[in-house]
């Protein structure tokens, strides 16, 4: 035990109140500092090997399986994809393909590169004429239209969480009664008959929410692959394209870019690691092919940004200056992420394991 003796002329009440104010200021300062820096640390940790926080925070309840399985909410998806379709039409190709193109040579146009991407993925998962195809996360319907017109698909189903995208597809496919669009989460979907092939382009990134530990992410992905296995005919193929976490360590600017995208562009979403996909699908699918085409996505984002800037005033008239600037920053940041390897672009061909 020890004590501190104050000079006699100082009132002990004054000392007590000074101590209380000092302690309060200390607590407030540290709480404010934590609020500012913790999002950066959380995003940084998510790109490294995850920590098993259950060992340290056993009293914290883990997310329910229902919450984990659903990933990004409908509101989060609509935050991005229900922006005026005319705005996206300014800088996407005429088929509204909003995912990485497949470039082959210096003279490809954006439209040609997008067609090559679709033909590659559809060619892997559509086995023959008169096939039945499921598109999970069908966007504005580019893959569905390409499958019907050039790959002999007789009947197709598209799943989306965006009412705006659904209306767009229906308006462009009025004469095609064999295309069925459902505004529905894949978790809630159950087909009345199996499919010959499944394609999913740029949706896998939204299947888990940000901040989950590795085991929770893998379990969510495993449920997805299990569902696809159940929905496919024997020998069926799932063609999957997704952005993934890169292997290049994240630097300061890269961290700021990713935090901006997570907050303003794609809320409630997280990227997979290739190892997480492999572990999640191994019981249900045989991996036939894997490509990492991050250079293709860097070029795609660069072309999108050039096209958006060329239509700057039209874009501002449609969505306002703030959203235009957000998308410009997002496309520039994405170009950098793919160039340096903070993010990868995976194209996987997965064949159903028949039991």
pLDDT tens-digit series, residues 300-334: 999 999 999 999 999 999 999 999 999 999 999 99
Per-residue pLDDT tens for 4-49?
344 444 454 444 444 444 444 444 444 444 444 444 434 444 444 4
**Per mean pLDDT, which of 29-38, 124-133, 164-173, 278-287 is the most reliable?**
278-287
What is the C-alpha separation between 218 and 329, in angstroms, rounded? Answer: 31
CB 154 within 8 A of CB 133: no
Average pLDDT, the chain: 83
**pLDDT score, position 122:** 98
Query: What is the sign of the dihedral through the CA atoms of 87, 93, 94 and 99?
Result: negative
Could you tell me which CATH number the domain at 69-352 has? 3.40.50.150
CB 131 within 8 A of CB 163: no
Unique residue bearing structure tokens 């394991």:
353
Per-residue pLDDT tens for 156-211?
999 999 999 999 999 988 666 789 999 999 999 999 999 999 999 999 999 998 88
Q: For the chain, list the strands marked E by DSSP.
A: 131-136, 153-160, 179-183, 195-201, 232-245, 285-292, 343-352
Residue ranges per domain, the chain?
10-45, 69-352
The residues pairing with 132 across neighbouring beta strands, listed in sequence order, are: 155
- Please determine, for residue 69, whether its predicted confidence score (pLDDT) is greater than 70: no
**pLDDT score, position 289:** 98
| Residue 53, CA atoms < 13 Å, CB-side half-sphere | 15
**pLDDT score, position 46:** 43
The residue-averaged pLDDT of 105-127 equals 94
**pLDDT score, position 321:** 96
**pLDDT bucket at 149, cuts 50 / 70 / 90:** very high
**Per mean pLDDT, which of 53-62, 70-79, 306-315 is the most reliable?**
306-315
Stronger pLDDT, 162 or 266, i.e. the higher one: 162
- Please determine, for residue 337, whether its predicted confidence score (pLDDT) is greater than 80: yes
The residue-averaged pLDDT of 113-124 equals 98
CB 156 within 8 A of CB 178: yes
**pLDDT score, position 142:** 97
Stronger pLDDT, 296 or 25, i.e. the higher one: 296
CA 147 to chain centre: 23
Joined tokens for residue 74:
């409908």
In this structure, the strands spanning 285-292 and 343-352 are antiparallel
What is the C-alpha separation between 166 and 160, in angstroms, rounded? Answer: 7
Query: What is the sign of the dihedral through the CA atoms of 155, 220, 114 and 121?
Result: negative
3-class SS at 33?
helix
Per-residue pLDDT tens for 207-246?
998 888 999 999 999 999 999 999 999 999 999 999 999 9
**pLDDT bucket at 265, cuts 50 / 70 / 90:** confident
**pLDDT score, position 11:** 52
- Please determine, for residue 336, whether its predicted confidence score (pLDDT) is greater than 80: yes
**pLDDT score, position 70:** 57
**pLDDT score, position 156:** 97
**pLDDT score, position 128:** 84
Joined tokens for residue 287:
């991996």
Return all residues near 237 (Cβ < 8 A) that are at least 6 apart: 124, 125, 127, 197, 198, 288, 349, 350, 351, 352
The residue-averaged pLDDT of 270-290 equals 97
| Residue 231, CA atoms < 13 Å, CB-side half-sphere | 25
CB 250 within 8 A of CB 302: no
What is the C-alpha separation between 183 and 310, in angstroms, rounded? Answer: 33
Q: At what angle do helices 74-81 and 163-172 cross, to 10 degrees?
A: 60
């Amino acid at each position: 035990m020890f004590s501190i003796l104050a000079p006699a002329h100082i009132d002990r009440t004054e000392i007590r109140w000074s101590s209380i104010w000092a302690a309060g200021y200390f607590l407030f300062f540290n709480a404010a500092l934590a609020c500012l820096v913790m999002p950066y640390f959380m995003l940084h940790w998510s790109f490294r090997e995850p920590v098993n926080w259950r060992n340290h925070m056993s009293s914290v309840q883990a997310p329910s399986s229902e919450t984990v399985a659903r990933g990004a909410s409908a509101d989060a998806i609509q935050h991005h994809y229900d922006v005026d379709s005319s705005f996206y039409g300014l800088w996407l190709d005429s088929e509204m393909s909003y995912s990485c193109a497949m470039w082959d040579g210096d003279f490809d146009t954006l439209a040609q590169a997008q067609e090559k991407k679709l033909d590659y993925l559809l060619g892997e998962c559509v086995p023959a004429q008169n096939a039945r195809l499921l598109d999970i996360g069908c966007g504005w319907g580019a893959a569905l239209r390409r499958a019907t017109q050039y790959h002999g698909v007789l009947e197709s189903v598209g799943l989306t969480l965006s009412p705006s995208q659904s209306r767009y597809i229906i308006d462009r496919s009025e004469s095609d009664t064999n295309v069925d669009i459902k505004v529905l989460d894949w978790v809630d979907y159950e087909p009345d008959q199996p499919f010959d092939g499944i394609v999913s382009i740029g949706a896998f990134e939204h299947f888990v929410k940000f901040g989950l530990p590795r085991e929770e992410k893998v379990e969510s992905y495993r449920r997805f692959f299990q569902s696809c296995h159940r929905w496919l005919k024997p020998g069926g193929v799932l063609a999957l394209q997704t952005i993934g976490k890169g292997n290049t360590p994240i630097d300061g600017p890269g961290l700021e870019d990713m935090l901006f995208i997570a907050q303003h562009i794609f809320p409630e979403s997280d990227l997979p690691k290739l190892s997480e996909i492999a572990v999640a699908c191994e019981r249900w699918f045989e991996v036939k092919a894997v490509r990492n085409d991050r250079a293709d996505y860097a070029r795609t984002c660069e072309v999108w940004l050039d096209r958006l800037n060329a239509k700057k005033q039209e874009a501002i008239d449609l969505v306002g200056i703030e959203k235009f600037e957000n998308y410009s920053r997002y496309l520039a940041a994405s170009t950098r992420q793919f160039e340096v390897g903070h993010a990868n672009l995976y194209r996987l061909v997965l064949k159903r394991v028949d039991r």
